[in-house]
Every structure is written in structure tokens, then in C-alpha cells.
A and B are shown apart, each in its own frame.
Chain A
Amino acid sequence: MRTVLTQFFSVHSALLLLKTGVWRRRQIDWAQEVTKQGQLNRWVPQIKGLACYATLFNGMLYLVLSDDQIAVVDVEGKFLIKSTEDVVGAAVQLCSVTSALPNLEPPFPRFAISVQRVAEHEEHQRTSPGQVRSAPPPLLPLCPCVHRLTALSLPRRSQRHGCPQEYRGGCWPPRRPLVEILSRATVKDLHRFKCVSKGWRGLIANPLHGKKLPQTLQGFFSSYPGESFNHDGRSFINLFGGTPPPFDPSLPFLKNLPGIRKIWLLGSYGGLLLFSLRRLGYIVFNPATEQWAAVPSEHTPADKDCRFRHAFLVFHPAVSSHFQLVIFCEGQRRMCTVHSYSSETGVWRHSQIDWAEDVRRLGQMNRWVPQITGNDSHATIFNGMLYLNLSDDQIAVVDVEGKVQRIIPGPPSVGRENAQHHSLFIGQSQGRLHYINEERRACDIPSELSSRVYTRDFDDDCDLLSVWVLEDYDTHKWALKHSVSQARLFGSNSYKTSFEYTVAAIHPDSPLLFIFLSWNRQLISYSLDSKDVRAVCATQGPIWCTPYVSCFLDFLSVAEHEEYQGRRRGR
């Protein structure tokens, strides 16, 4: 029982557990509450015992009462809202009536258990044979969505051959197998299937199935450079306008961190946001599950002459439920200190990179010793390794321990003469490493490449933005995927320097670029397939766009890990 509660807490209300670590009891007098906030019918209602009658929604428990009213209870057992409607098929209007409840009994754990069972509803049905589907539950779990809470009625199992048309149209495939089937689809197929019907779209977008279904780029967190993240009015650029993001974009959870005034967003990796608390350390936070962990600061005396830091969070739930935090501190003397933290061990390890030596050993030493740049667009995580663009356009492949494994020369220029080109972006899309560079006045383009170069029909149209794909990791072979002229992309004749725009992201599952234009503060997208330029959104002020791909899986940090191990031993 303790496990159930702590699991619930660690996902949804870790603060509460950390603060108290004790059970709390509160009593709900249904007669009184229903009279006060709802409608008292002939009898005093109670909560229904079946898991399908309760759900979590925006951090609150929604419990269906025996008279088909819905009680909304917070995790401390406080009664906040109660609203009534005919439950089946109706959208429930939420009204906020607040009321605190004193005293004891029935014990609060009861709610915690029912919540856990809702979250695990489907797993639960798999594993407890005795109760499975002997009587199909009359209600599906209430579907959490941000704007509206809907209750659905489960269609009655009809005789298949009696009315095949209606049966197929209405409720085939049954919900759980459909999730199983869709969980094997590719991301693109999955999202295309949203066009099949409203029911499919709702199911695919439903965060309840987020653990099973593959996730993709949800949108961007926008922020001013250097600005604290937990102030009001934070905006999230949602790429799925039709369905709300699976979390409250203002991240209310962060405002409640005890004793912390300011935090800074460093990046978003595999669904986890990495925040810096400056000298205090880091916070790893998953907005979709509200799970978080604090990581202590890594500072050592060697960091004194650190010019800048570059932090990465490596989290790949398919490989490991643990995350790793890797911080590069670029020092004055061409040395780079690498601090690496594993959530499995809970300790920092420190190592150093001597760029001069590593570049000589693995790459090509040009006139000067290269360094990493502090720019987010110039680094990415790919197959569990860090890819860092060095200042001389070579790419260092570094493992999570801070050891340089390989140095890959960057792609060449498109034009035949080795024109001035420099890198803009490195990132992962459709399972391959992509590299984007910019080239001014490209001329004499070889014929085998010219079919991939897209310009307007003007002669002076030769400032190019080129997308390269690493075709062969071993031989370091780059292939030109696409090249587009600035004029075609930005619609203007004047040359834009790389300070005037940023490649914010490449879509992880589609040939689509996101570019932020500083002069009109606009985020645009460019399709390498259709060559369409579209405005994604206009923003206020100078912003950074941090791409976010949601993840509904839990990570393990030291505390949770020990508990999990304990639970396994206990079995």
C-alpha cells in the first residue's frame, strides 16, 4: 500500500511526500457536501468502488458517485468542486466551489489506491484474471483533457453478425487492442490516423495512452535569454492547435518549489526539461507526468576559469529508465572539464578533454585548436552520444562519461569552390544525424547536386542554407539532402547573417525545419518535401524556442531506484 501511495505521489505530488512522508486522513461527509455543493437526491451517494469510476484530471481526483454526480477531490482529500450532470455522454461543466474538510476517516489511502488503479486501469485488467471483463464496466475511465471532461459510455457488446455495419462503424476495433495496434505504428502513420475519425483522434491524443503510443514534437517552450522561467505568462507554442498540450503550459508546479525564486530552462531532452538553479544545482522535470528530481550542483575548484557551461540531459527510456546529466565547462586553456551525473548512482564524476590532443588523435588539426560553442543549435544527442559542433566545423562525438570517441569532419560546401560556409544546426531527424550549414555566394554548383538546390529564378539567388545527412558513420560520408536559397526561404533579396535567424529545430519524424526569424520575431516552418514556408507563430520579444517532445514514462532517480529495487526484492 505504501508503494501505491508513494508511486502516486512521486508522479503527481512529490512535494507533499518530501515534506511530510506521512499518511493524512480526512473525512468526507457526503450528506453534508452533497447538500452544500451538489444536489441531494433521495439517498446519500457514495463513491463507486470500480477503478473505471475515478480518474485524475489536472491534478484532481474525479470520482463518480453512486447517484451519477461527480465529486472533485484534491490529493489531500479536500473537497473542492462538485458538479452534476447526466454523466453518460455529457460534458461536465466545472464550477469552482471551495470547501475544506476537517477531521479523520475514511483513510485517505483509499483515494490514492483508486487513482493508481485508474492510471494502471488497463494493465490492471491484464493482470488480475479473476475480475477481467466478467461484466464489462458500464463506463470507460473519464478521459482527462484540459478543456473538457467527458464521460463516455461503453457501447454494448452486440452480436457481431446481427448488425455488422453499426458494430464496425461504432466501436471496432475495441479500445484496448486498438491502442496495442497503434502502439506499433510509426509516428507519422499514427498522426495521419488522427484523420480517420474523431474517436481515433481522441484516442491518439489522449494522455492516458501516452505511455504506449510513440510521441513526437509537441511544440516549443519560448523564453528570453537569461530570464527566469517561473514567472507568469509563460507561453508554449503548441503545434497541435486542435488538441491541448498534455500539461498546463504555465507549469504551475514549478511555482510551488519551496524556497526557490528563480530557475532557468537549459533545454528539453527526451521529454524532460532541465532547469538550472545556478549554484544550487539542477532540476529535472517532466511536465507530462509532473515527476521531478533535484540534482545537486557539480561545481569543483577546477571550474573557476570556466567561460561557459553547456548542459545535456541524456534520457532514453527504451534503453534505461535512468537519466544522465552531462555538463561541459569550456575553460581558458583549451581544456574542457566534463561533469557527468547518473541518476542511478547519484554522484558526479569529473573528467577533462584536451581538445588539442583529441583533435590531433582523431580528427584534423587546422590552424587553431577548436573548442565547443555554447550554442544550443550546435549540439545534439543522438543514439545516446553527444554530438558537439566544434568551432572549426568538425563534430566531436562524446560519450556520457566525457570521453571523445570520434571526430567527424563537417560536410563540405555546395559550390565547387570551397566557399565560406559555416554551421547553423546539428540535430536528429527520422533516425539520422542532420547538419545544416549556410553558404554565401555559392557558385558553380556541381550538376549531381544541383537537382537538390532550390532557388527563386533570379541570378543573384545564391546564399544557400543546406541540409546534410550523415550517410555513413564509419567513412564520415555526408549526403546533401536539400539546399534552399535564403531568398526563397525568407522572401527577401537582402542577405541575412546567421545572427538574424536561428534554426530552432528539425522535426524528429518529418523533413520539416523550424526557423526563428529575429527581425520580425516569427517562427516559420519549411518543408523539405513540399518546399512550403509557413508561419507557425509570431511572438513578442527576443526568444529562444526550446523544442519539446512529450514523454509519459517515468524516470528513475536514486530515491525511486532504491524503492523500486526494494519492491522487487519484496516480491
Chain B
Amino acid sequence: MEVDKGKGEAEETRKVAEADRDTVTLKSSDGKLFEVSKEAAARLSTVLAGMIAGGSIDDNGTDLKQIGSEALENVVDYCNKHANSIPSAALISSSISFNTAPFKEPEEWERKFVDRLSHDALFDLVEAANFLGMERLLDVTCHKISEMMKGKSPDQIREVFNIKNDYTKEELEEIRQELAWAFYDD
């Protein structure tokens, strides 16, 4: 009984100590470690917030097997540099209107942040943001990609995303007929 109690206390102290640390360590799929402020992580990522609240953060690096080191570096960069200027994820979700929340245009620094990324890095970052439930980062990266897609032809889109055209010639002709209006110039 006594022993059990002692153990419980030790556990408690360890937890408190953990809670006192103000960074969390994240580990990418290829084993690299990144530090990010706990406050920023919890504010920007619903997933990390859940993990921190649930105590499933590992001191030696929380494994994020789906995210490569390059993408994780960008995520951490985004969190550490800019956490202060972003409203918390929880705030955003509670203010969602009855139908859809309007998208706030990216700010100047966010624009710069995504503009410097290569296509591949940008796509990886979208996936990472999606995986970590980082709404704002997802918004900003998706916004960037949709800007890249603006006015592009289906052929160009296939090239950018490296998508295989699985239509036959006849099928494509048929769908072009149906969508003729979308190809008219103003």
C-alpha cells in the first residue's frame, strides 16, 4: 500500500516536471529531432494540443512517422517564429459561423513563408498540416496552391500534380462538350 502510494507520488512529480517544460520534442519519420514551444504547438495544432493534454508527449521525441524531416522543419519553423501573431486554434473553431467560417487572407509574412518553398516542400507541408490538424497553416498552404492553379488548363494541372490522365479520348471529348461553358472566355 505504502509503496504504491510512493510510486503514485513519484509519478505525480514526474508529470508536474513534464508539464513545466515549455518545449516539446518532435521526431520526424527519418529520426531527426525538433524542438517547438509547447504553447505554440498547442495553439496551432489540434493534434499536438490533444497529445499534450492527454500526456502522450514523449520527452525523447514524440514520433511523427508520417512527416518527413524537411516538412517537420517547416512546421516547427512556422510555429516557433510566428506563433504569437496567430489566434489559437481553439478560438478559431469556436467562432465558426452556422455554415462556414470565412477564410482570412494570408498575412504578409505567411505569404513569404510559403512563397519560398518548392512545389514538393509545399505539398509535403500541406500533408503535415493536415495530419497535425493545423488549420491556419493548412489554410495558408492551400491558398498558395490554389493561387498556383488559377486559370490553369487541365493539362497543366496534371503536370503540376503529376496526375495520370485516366480518361479515354472519347470520354474527354464528351465531358468537354458538357463543360463547354467553363472553357468560354469572358
Residues of A within 8 A of B (CB): 125-130, 132-133, 157, 159-161, 164-165, 168-169, 172-174, 176-177, 180-182, 184-189, 191-201, 211-212, 239-242, 317, 321, 430, 507, 509-512, 525, 527-530, 532, 534, 553-554, 556, 564, 571
Contact = CB atoms under 8 A, between A and B. Distances in A.
Nearest to B183: A192
Given A184-B146, A192-B183, A241-B178, 4 more contacts: A174-B130, A194-B179, A317-B99, A321-B98
A564 B98 contact: yes
B98 A184 contact: no
Interface of B: 29, 46-51, 53-54, 66, 68, 93-94, 97-100, 103, 123-124, 126-127, 129-131, 133, 135, 138-139, 141-143, 145-146, 149-154, 157-158, 161-167, 172, 174-176, 178-186
Contacts of A194: 175, 179
B178 to A, nearest CB: 6
Q: Is the interface of B mostly helix, strand, loop or mixed?
A: helix
B175 A127 contact: no
A160 B175 contact: no
A212 B151 CA distance: 20
Contact of B158 (A125, A184, A196, A534): A196
A213 B103 CA distance: 13
Given A198-B167, A512-B181, A554-B98, A184 B138 contact: no
B184 A527 contact: yes
Contacts of B131: 133
A240 B163 contact: no
Nearest to A556: B98
12 contacts: A125-B133, A169-B162, A172-B162, A193-B154, A195-B179, A196-B154, A197-B165, A201-B175, A430-B186, A510-B182, A527-B180, A530-B180
Contacts of A553: 99-100
A26 B161 CA distance: 49
A129 B46 contact: yes
Contacts of B130: 174, 176-177
Given A126-B93, A172-B161, A181-B146, A509 B181 contact: yes
Contacts, number: 161
B167 to A, nearest CB: 7
Contacts of A180: 138-139, 142
A129 B94 CA distance: 14
Contacts of B127: 174, 177
Contacts of A191: 179, 181-182
Given A189-B151, A192-B154, A173 B126 contact: yes
B156 to A, nearest CB: 10
> Which residue among A196, A241, A530 has the maximum number of chain B CB atoms within 10 Å of its CB?
A196
Given A129-B49, A132-B133, A553-B99, A173 B146 contact: no
B174 A242 contact: yes
Nearest to B179: A191
A360 B183 CA distance: 45
Contacts of A240: 178
A242 B175 contact: yes
Contacts of B184: 510-512, 527-530
> Which residue among B98, B135, B185 has the maximum number of chain A CB atoms within 10 Å of its CB?
B98
Contacts of B139: 180
Nearest to B172: A195
A165 B162 contact: yes
A184 B133 contact: no
A176 B141 CA distance: 13
A211 B183 contact: no
Contacts of A185: 146, 149-150
Contacts of B29: 159
A129 B166 contact: no
Contact of A160 (B124, B138, B179): B124
A195 B150 contact: no
B104 to A, nearest CB: 13
A184 B163 contact: no
A133 B138 CA distance: 16
B167 A184 contact: no
Closest 7 A/B residue pairs (Cβ): A129-B50, A168-B162, A184-B146, A529-B184, A195-B154, A510-B181, A191-B182
Given A180-B142, A185-B146, A321-B99, A192 B179 contact: yes
B133 A181 contact: no
A168 B124 contact: no
B103 A184 contact: yes
Given A191-B182, A195-B179, A211 B99 contact: yes
A525 B93 CA distance: 44
Contacts of A199: 166
A239 B178 contact: yes
Nearest to B153: A192
Given A201-B175, A321-B98, A564-B98, A192 B182 contact: yes
Contact of B157 (A188, A196, A530): A196
A317 to B, nearest CB: 6
A405 B117 CA distance: 50
Given A181-B145, A181-B149, A212-B100, A126 B135 contact: yes
A200 B142 CA distance: 16
B173 to A, nearest CB: 10
A525 B162 CA distance: 35
B128 to A, nearest CB: 10
B161 A168 contact: yes
Given A181-B146, A196-B154, A242-B174, A168 B100 contact: no
Contacts of A212: 100
A195 B180 CA distance: 11
A33 B130 CA distance: 40
Contacts of B129: 177
Contacts of A168: 161-163
Nearest to A525: B181
B163 A195 contact: no
A157 B66 contact: yes
Contact of B46 (A127, A177, A188, A201): A127
A160 B68 CA distance: 9
Contacts of A571: 94
